[in-house]
Structure 1
Amino acid sequence: MDEIQTIVALAALAQSTRLRTFRLLVEREPDGIAAGELARLVDVPQNTMSAHLSTLAQAGLVRGDRQSRSIIYRADLDRFRAVMLYLLQDCCGGNASLCAPLISDLTPCCAPREAQTR
């Protein structure tokens, strides 16, 4: 991950429909969501959703897999992780204690689904 790739990814997420779409795709991992269903859930026309998905895909944040007549979209969590790690590299000038609260806040939200339902 480099600065340009990070800027492209962040720019793709810097629009409300794309951010809602990406968050919805993250929620639906690993199953993904068909493009038409995404448009319905986010309440935008299909052609508008297609443009948003194209922007997210060009940024590497989503990928689409054709299944029969539908394209199922999924969040690319590896790419998203790389963006977040790029932002956190050399966090706080190497002072780990300054980043500890951030890391602590992130940890509970990312528990595996099996652990969340227990």
Structure 2
Amino acid sequence: MKPNPVVWFEIYVQDMERARKFYETVFRCQLEPMAAPEGEASGLQMLGFPMTMEAPGAGGMLVQMADCPRPAGGPGTLVYFACTDCAVEQGRVEAAGGKVFKPKFAIGPYGHCALVIDTEGNTIGLHSMQ
């Protein structure tokens, strides 16, 4: 396995507009609609986070799917978003309709992180070196 093996992430949601508002508010970004794969059944909505193929890191999106194999909010993979200071994004979470699960805490030489819950019940991580 190569170092930094994660290349993509998907966060499953039940209410796309509610989830869009949460992520755009917390991360001060614009999510963009993504086309469904050819032959995919209707009822699939996807919004991509800002990304570029020329930079390191993983791209990803929000997904709303009628027959989702894993409902939003259940246990599963924890995605960490890079931040300059994770306390800043943490500070926007409750106003955006989410909850702070574990406020910013130190993780030794690896920086700091916080755990928050989005409007769909998904736990996400915020990571920063300061």
TM-score (norm: length of structure 2): 0.26
Higher Cα radius of gyration: 1
Name the structure where helix makes up a greater proportion of residues: 1
